[in-house]
Structure 1
Amino acid sequence: MVKAIDMSLVEHALQGFTIPPQPQVLRHIQQQLNAAEPDLNRIASLIALDIGIAGFTLKVVNSAYFGLRNKITSVEQACRYLGLNRVVMLVRSVLLRFTLEEGRQDEFSRKLWTNALHTATLAMTLAKQLNFDQQCQDDCYSLGLFRNAGMALISQQAPQYAAVLQQGLLQQQAVSSIEEQHFHTSHEVLGYLIAESWGLTQTLCNIIAYHHSPALLLETDNQAEHQRFAILKIAEFFSGESRQLFQVNLDPEWQLHQSRILDVLELEPLQLPELAELLHRQELRTIYSV
């Protein structure tokens, strides 16, 4: 486990920001999960109350990732097929977007959530291709989804956020340094607090808090953190995050740390195009297909 979060830094980062609480529908679903005998029909009914959540659940279960021969057409069927924990994961992905967007339709918000869902799906699929278990796959999805949630909070109050980040990245400055200099906060710390308040595990919260600090995170002896972090960073690289969000082709962080990241998974750089091809076969776009 990486070092504990410095709460004085958290208090500093929170100045002027409010962490969005876990939505009511997710709390009700979580209560069912915590019950001695969770009621899958009740969970399906809760999901069906929100057309956005219901539609997204059906879209995911019918995607190429699962490779079903026959399409699933009901929320009840989808819940039975996916299982309780994965249903909660998908519900989070919808609710997080709408909770943080709060009706905003600006270009950066659209890019941010498109990239979040894309990276989450890439990370989950990579974990599957690399033969990690279901829990790891689901964790990687959550990491892809939540890691940049703090950016949404900052950009809500600072419309110039994307332009400032673009300028700093072109000068090869670190993301956290740019944010601290101009906004006196960090999307990593804000993302950590959002993830914690929404009930993610401490392992996932730690990775989100340090996902731009590979040197710190990879110095620990927590293999689970290392593996999930490495998959996340490959997914970010494959998604072309800097290009998609800030129109910047440079990725100094990846160039500097890719060897250590790939070593965690016992991969070589020449294997990345092969992995990308496997993702393309599942209709997932990567920088190799652009």
Structure 2
Amino acid sequence: MPLILNMSKIDNALEGFTIPPRPDMLQQVQNEVEKAEPDLKSISQYINQDIGIAGFTLKVVNSPLFSLPRKISTIEHACMFLGLNRLIKLVNSIVLRFTLSAGNEEIFTEKLWNSSMKIGNASLILSQHFDLGKDFSDDCYTAGLFHNAGMALIFSQSSEYPKLLRQAYIESAIIGEFEEEKFETSHEVLGFLIAQSWGLNTEISNVIAYHHSPNIMLATGEASEKQMFAILKLAEHMTNATEILTGVNPDNEWERFSTQILDVLNLEDFNLLDLGEVLFEAGIDNIYHM
């Protein structure tokens, strides 16, 4: 019997959906804010390394409060738009909102955000290495950071989700179809809705919506979406994201579609050793260079 999610609760959750920031990162941001002369660049760098604070910031800056003609997808742009004074007020509100709940994170949630941070950083380094432009590289980072956010919504209603997700990978199932069967929705769909509610751009939102659907993305996606998707999947593979999150190895999705994914980036299998070195030099452990 499907463990059907209550979509009215999902709708309500999307309205106020935020991810608790890590206490240590929140403290670092607060320490910078409390300096006699806080530095906007330092604050934005801290924010960009925490999924919770980053998501909250994007949601605020893209809210009807500012009525922007074009949505902002990167933390750097969001912080520049807000300016130091408004950014300090925002950080203080985040501190107030989450201080009481600090330290209550579930093991699965911790794994989820650890893997997402690693994938986001790897996506950024890879896109920079391919010289795809600063804005596109920033968008690749954002896609990597938030692509699995929908998992948090499923987990909030079903504590069985980590076990079922592991089962899906063991069975080499198509993840979206497996989740649809169990919950009548998927973390891709929910991730897309989160991306829309946070004001992320169309490319990022579409990649999140189809990041477990290579056959669809590679056949119908725009060229830039295919490129962002390919970087995301390469980052997942190289950082061993599936094993980090579920303990399952190998990633059968990569094994089925790796040739097509690498073709998008004009890569061959032997190039991955060099890319492993690039990631390692940037401080990112990966399966090609530990």
Return the TM-score normalized by structure 2.
0.72
CA distance in 2, matches of 1:55, 1:15: 36
1:19 aligned onto 2:18: no
Once the 2 structures are TM-superposed, how far is the Cα of residue 57 of structure 1 from its aligned partner? 10
Q: 1:51 to 1:158 in 2, by over 3 A?
A: closer
Are the equivalent residues in 2 in contact too, given 1:240–1:286 (CA < 8 A)?
A: yes
Tell me if the contact between 2:123 and 2:141 (Cα under 8 Å) persists in the aligned partners. yes
Distance (whole Å) between structure 1 residues aligned to residue 195 and residue 169 of structure 2: 26
Within a 5 Å distance, the mapping from 1:65-84 to structure 2 comes to 74-78=38-42
Aligned to 1:243, the other structure's residue is in SS state: helix
Alignment of 1:263 with 2:263, yes or no, is: yes
Conserved in 2, the CA contact under 8 Å of 1:176 and 1:212? Answer: yes
SS in structure 2 at match of 1:269: coil
Note closer, same or farther for the CA distance 1:208–1:135 as it changes in structure 2 (3 Å cut): same
Deviation at 1:203, TM superposition (A): 1.2
Cα distance per residue 1:146-188 (max 9 Å; x no partner):
1100001101111111111112211111111221122221000
Task: Give the partner amino acid of 1:268.
Answer: E
Q: Closer, same or farther in 2 for the Cα pair 1:90/1:250, shift >3 Å?
A: closer
Q: Distance in 2 between matches of 1:273 and 1:248?
A: 22
Match of 1:279 in 2: 279
Q: Which runs of 5+ in 1 are unaligned?
A: 1-11, 24-49, 60-72
1:176 aligns with 2:176: yes
When the two structures are aligned, how many residues end up with a matched partner? 234
Give 1:94's aligned amino acid: I
CA shift digits 1:225-249 (9 cap, x unpaired): 1111111110011121110011000
SS of match in other structure, 1:105: coil
8 A contact 1:239–1:285 mirrored in 2: yes
Paired with 1:127 and 1:58, the residues of 2 have a C-alpha distance of: 32
TM-superposed deviation, 1:53 = 5.1
CA contact (8 A) 2:25 2:46 kept: no
Kindly report which structure 2 residues correspond to 1:15-94, keeping only aligned pairs within 5 A, or say none: 15-17=8-10, 18-21=13-16, 52=25, 55=28, 74-78=38-42, 94=53
Structure 1 residues 177-224: Cα deviation after superposition (integer angstroms, max 9, x where no partner): 221122221000100011111110011111100111111111136211
For structure 2, list consecutive stretches of 5 or more residues without a partner in the other structure. Answer: 57-93
Query: Comparing 87-96 with 167-176, which one deviates more in the overlay?
Result: 87-96
Task: Name the SS for the 1:266 alignment partner.
Answer: coil
Residues 150, 189 of structure 1: 8 Å contact kept: yes
Identity of aligned residues (%): 33
Q: Is the 8 A contact 1:57 1:90 kept in 2?
A: no
Write the mapping of 1:161-240 to structure 2, written as runs, cut at 5 A: 161-220=161-220, 222-240=222-240
